[in-house]
Structure 1
Amino acid sequence: MRLRTQLSALVVSALVPVALFAGLLALLYSRDRQTEVNRDLFSTARSLSRALDLEFEAHIRALEVLATSHYLDVGALRGFRLEADRAIAMSPAWEAIVLVDPGGQQLVNTRVAPGTPLPRTGLAALVARTIATQRPGVSDLFIGPVAKRPVIALAVPVVRDGAVRFVLTSSTSPERVRALLADQRIPADFVATIVDGGAVIVARSLAPEQFVGGRVSGPLAARLAGSDETLWDGRTLEGEDVRAAVRRSGVSGWAVVVTVPSAVVQAPVSRALGYLSLAGLVVVLGGLGLAIVVGRRIAAPITALADAAGALGRGEPVQRPPSSIVEVERVARALEAASAERGRAEASLRANERFYRSLLENALDMVTVVDAQGVVVYESAAITRVLGWTPAERVGRPHGELVHPDDVAVAADGIARGFRAAGVAQTFRFRARHRDGTWRDMHSVGQVFVDEAGVVIGVVNSRDVTGQRRAEEELALQSRALDAAANGIVITDRDGRIVWVNEAFTRMTGYPAADAVGQTPRLLKSGRHEHTFYTRLWDTVVSGVPWRGELVNRRRDGSLYTEEQVITPVRAAGGQITHFIAVKQDVTDRKRVDEELRQQREVLYQSEKLAGMGQLLAGVAHELNNPLTVVIGRATMLGRALAGGPLEPSVRKLAEAAERCSRIVKNFVALARQRPPTRQKVALNQVVREALELVAYPLRVDDVEVTLDLAPDLAPIWGDAHQLHQVVVNLLTNAHQAVRETLPPRRVALTTRADAARGRLRLEVSDTGRGIPPEIRPRVFEPFFTTKPVGQGTGLGLSICQGIVEGHGGTISVADGTPGATFVVELPAGEGAEARAEPEPVEPAPPARRGIVLVVDDEAEVGGLLAELIAADGHEVDTASDGLDALDKLGRRAYDLVLSDVKMPNLDGRGLYREVERRFPHLAARMVFLTGDALGAEVSAFIETTGRLNLGKPFDPDEVRRLVNRMLATL
């Protein structure tokens, strides 16, 4: 087949896909056009439906507000009528408001005057639906029974106590809907129609006067009864074929129908198909004509190319045939270039031979060529620089004559292996003799080649490594020295990857060198440092500055240790950093000792604070006990005076509150008092109650619910009440701190039980906090161990509790499997049951004789109270404000009994006692001391030394009277 025929066929075959593609474009354009029209139809329908919903929702919200009228709560229809009239006046969209009862009877209608008989509602179906669903509703278009014209009604239920009492409706004109439609921007080719639930046309954008009030066509009505949103192709009431988008309102159930004529949709597609058909015919005819012309112009140059190719094959010079065709011209140029390249290749081969010979002559390494017998046939000039011999001296000589006698076998074996395995490189080392008689270490790589003629030769490349060997020996010596170092040493590359570690590193971390090399120091990361810590460290060393500091790292076995580390950058000759050297020292033991010393200093500091607090509490207790003495005494006296009267309960509450204050002060004092342990019978439940009373206020402030479940009739414990009190307070304080960090409800429970079989008493203190993680439970009783932030605990509380409990022969532990934390204390029980009832108050017996008593107290109220209490039993009482005043009275009158405070200005109780012993020795045995200083060691020692009786403030008034009467009875 000729070239021109093939070109014509090519043109036709090329145009067929173009025609198919044009048809495909027309089809896609048709689809895109229809998709665009459908999208515009639905967008318009949705916008109109939303506008209709907003209109109805505004009416419904206004009606719902009116339905909340309080007049409807009480059935006041006249009052409601006034509110409805005001609503009509304020809302021009409403024509009337009608209130209907559940039976359909109109109760209020703003269209007619009040008092006019009203008919039953014409919206029975809407009212029934509203009552059934208890939701607002919208009616279809209907003729109002009172208005006598088309209206639309909206209804909302009036719900009271979960039942519909009324239905409130309002009517509006369909003109509102038509106006709404007119306000929308509807495309020129679109027609919008609003249809109610009965398929009646309420509004239409085109010819509304012709179609409003009528029903839509049957097919459209059937489609309206289907889904809430659909696309429909059909015929309008005018008989025009259209495409319609239907959107149903979610509020009213009405439908919005937007149509466009089918001709409008198809017209652009038809025009496009016509244009494409005409253009295709023109292109086909023009292509065939052009193919015939071009074919003639291509054939002649191709013939010339065939002639040029034949000349190239014969090795003749190629003459490039001229052509205007780019491809033909390119082939012609390629043939011409191939001819020129052939000449250049021959010249290049000659140049390469000269280059490689020069390369061998100037190489730093020795290059030796030997024949199969090991005789040198070529030696490079480098032998003169390396061994001092000239190439001419070596050619024709055996290769092995310069090899050290001990290495001859090694060198010969390397060359022999090369000749046995041609083409495989062989590596060997040997010593070669220099011209000056010294020996040089040589590293050689040899390989055997077979040329095209079958001649076998061996090529040996040898390098002088004498200096390298010495450096390796020095490096090995340094490595052994570093391995023997006591500190761990790590060398990393510039990227932080470990390249060497010593034995001390392995002992310190547990990682052998084989496992560490190739890793990064992150291998030891403990997680105890923030990411920014490592970032700052890395930024420091890469800047060339050594870093010194401490890190907490993790050994291979998972244990943590603290190390001091110095990281030093190593620089190359050019100044760039190539490696880092880290020197490590394990300082875990030193840090532990330092921490123990710090904690001991903290304990000493806390002890000093407690001692200071004790002194402060002593002063506070003294200052509080004096007024409490007055309050308790006066309340007791007032209670007796008002016994049986209406104020007796109030006075009793006053006395109980004062007693509670007194107990709180005593508990604080007992907790802070430093005293040697004593053993006596202790009621565990009483210890629990007193401890709880001490911390009750902060528990209440943090909304902590405390539950007491104390077993009755517990046997007493033989122990120190104050130490056990300290244990319970500590456990309660820990539970309080645990639940304070959680959301309510916060609960703490205290439970006591008796285990008769084991002879033990059990106390449980549990909370609803986050609990204690299993991994730290074994450590909670260790001294100085704490999970609290710095400054919020010494870590000694539970350790001290454990020491106290075990000192009583008991145990303290943390229970497993409980929410929150539960501490269990078990103590050995003593004999006998715990007393449950408080002793009944005993009325002081009448005095056996009347006496003269001197009361000495710097607090006038306390002195006056004591004087009244004692005088009530018929005794004569004088008061003195301090020791000097008392001595003055003692010098002027004989007294049978002296009650004296200890702490007073001028002359205190101790000074007064010494003066009484000196001046009135018979009266010293009849002195009774009063004190509010519960913590003063000096006061306690003084009273114990005298052997005199002591009344602690605040005291029981009846106890004072009994004591005075008992002492006077012995005279």
Structure 2
Amino acid sequence: MLSPPSVRHPRPSPRSRRLRTWLILLVTAVAVPLVLFSGFLLVRNVKAQARETERLVRDRAHLLAEDVDREVARLIAAAEVLATSDSLAVGDLATFHRRAVEVRDLLGTNVVLRNLANQQIVNSRVPWGTPLPVNTGFTADQRAIATRKPQVSGLIMGGVTRAPLLIVVVPVIRDGDVRFLLSLTITQERLQTIVSPERLPRGWRAGVIDEDGTVIARSHQAEQFVGKSLSADLWAGMRKSPEGIHRAVNLEGVSAFQAYSRSETAGWVVATSVPKSLMAGPAREMLLLFVGGGLVLILIGITAAIGLGRRLMRPVAQLARAAEALGAGRLPPADAAGILEIDAVANAIRNAAGLIQQREADLAESEARNRAMVQTAADAMVVIDDAGIIQSFNPAAERIFGYHAEEAIGRTARILMPEPCHSADDVDVVTCLSMGDRRGSGAGRDLMGRRKDGTTFPIELAIADWTSGQRRYFSGIIRDITERKSAEDALRASKAEADRANVAKSKFLAAASHDLRQPVQAMMLFQSALEERLAGHPAFRLLKSLGEAMGGLRMLLDSLLDVSKLDAGLIVPTPVDMPVGPLLERLGAEYHAQAVAKDLRLRVVPSGATIRSDPALLERILRNLIENALRYTERGGVLIGCRRKGGNLHIDVIDTGIGIQPDKHEEIFEEFFQVGNPERDRSKGLGLGLAVVRRLARLLGHRIELRSLPGRGSMFRVEVPVVVLRSSGSGKPDNVHPVNGHPVNGHPSLILVIDDEPLVRTGLQAMLESWGYGVLTAGSIQDAVLLVDSGKWPDAILADYRLRGGETGLNAIKAVCERLNVPVPATVITGDTAPERLVEVRAGGYALLHKPVAANDLRNAVVEMLSVAESDTRLCAEGDHAAPGGSC
């Protein structure tokens, strides 16, 4: 319901004006831009007219110059024809005189033939035979003789007529010399015809000036100005360029706009001018019309505005009375003003009463709804002021904190917070609520709350600030997150348990790998020894099959070791600049026989690129990819090639094999996952090759890309960085081929084998002896020391890492070297795949082989050790003295 407030009539503002004034200002505001725009158009039009006049003046000067050129060119052409006439060539001057008279009558000129002494010989103006005078020399004569080309003179006085005229002088050349001068006159009347007033717009002037700046023809007052020279300043400006336009005072003393153009044939200047008063006349008339018309239109508009203002005053006053009635709570009158807009405002005022009543009802409903939401909300809602005093406390807050609303409202919000905020009287409550975290309005943060009984619990708090009047308030939504925190703690505990299980798995794999490698190592050693002894025996084929089976088991254990090393981060890449071509060619040669065995084509595209990578690790990646391609391709072939893109080189291994389903592109890089091998056929690998590829690629920073079509084939791409091609140094051989019995210091090599497993010792002894080496075997450190004390000094040591009684092969090697008082090359053999073993053995400076060891790998290791021993012996022999004990 409307309540009538006290009505106050506001004082008029100092800037308030009557409606008629605003209408006048409106008319003025509309008229002024129009006047300004019209003025702009007027100025633009005047400038355009001036530019057009300039163009016309320039064009007229150019046109008149062309007319002068044509006139002079016509006379020059006639003179050149006469100069080459036959009668003049044979000296028939009478006939030449008749020809000259014909030219005179045709062109309206006079023809004079003179010798170089300026004696007239022929003059078409007088009959033939009349005595003729001697002319004075002209400047044009000298130029014609010097240049041997036609010349045009300036203004001169005729020798017979004593009238001003101009001549065209053409040299007559005979036998390479100038014999005569032939001149044709250009009368002033002819030039006056070219610049006559009839050929110019009204008020325009035109004239012709010779090369000396003398007026030789003029459209107006020719008798006064012909023969006079231009001022030095004006003529200096006109001589500099062949044409131009400028403002100057003409010969009549009138300020004018002048344009000039130079005749190309005669060299004269033709000028046209327009008085400034003639150019400004149209613009002045247009300006007067514009100013007068504009003032009349503005006066008409102001008069109309005053009349309309009086018409609008009455309905506006009625509208003001209706607004006063609305403010007083009364219904406004329903009088129609007859003006649509004012009637619309009056209707809006009448509707405002109903709208105000509706808004009051809606406000009451909204307050009730918000109150219900706050009272039934599951989260606590607390409102505090800027002093930290609680203003509102909903039932959820009562349930969470244990306070009744009557207890909390009016108290500081510190009662809801634990130490230090609870007892810190000098701490700002809002700062304690946000814990110093000034995030955006409504942002949630986790902190601790305090119940009435003093217990604390985790809460999530979101704060929004708002103002009412001059006061600032903070609304906080608080949620008890005790259960969520418990769930998070349980999740962290589960993750820790999973991490422990993963560590236990790694330890189990390492231990299982070690325990498996021991018997497998012995089996491989015996198989290799038997293979050499039973060559040609009927059981040799079965022995070869046994070796292949042992090789498969060794491959599984080696793959597990590779994954373990990569996961432990023990492999550190050493990138170098390397040519990729030799690596690809060597791999192609190595796998060629395997491809031929499966009736496949293996092609390597040569590449001269140089890349940056770790040669050994990159080779391992490519080997795994090539082996996979050959393993899963039954027909077609495998292509290995490179393609450069930007700063990288793409090394592609493409096959025509079974392909890979799109949903398996990620799974194939997981451990033990294989495509198309549900029966786990060992000939198709173990499912670890691509897992190793991905780990090595990540280690090197190389990107691996897979594209595949099921049934069509696959492409694996390795992206490596390209570097500038550099020449490489010396190469390194891929394999070491030992010589049986490799002698050291002149006697057969002696190898000390230390292993606590009798089978392994026996197998190693059999294999080494089959290669021609002497072998000493020991099962413990004590046995090894006793052998050394008996005078049997080994050239190299093969020691198992794990011995009985907690002893290690490293301890055994150290004990032997200390007893000999000389270092002995040694290799540690172990079945333990734990990453720590690699670090420990490398720290001792020894080589490391993992069981089961292939015969070729063992042979290479022995040869490497004996090479070191032989090198040490040679260095000792070249030294100044021997080491204690008689050995270096």
TM-score of the pair, normalised by structure 2 = 0.37
**Greater relative contact order (Cα < 8 A, sep 6+):** 2
TM-score of the pair, normalised by structure 1 = 0.34
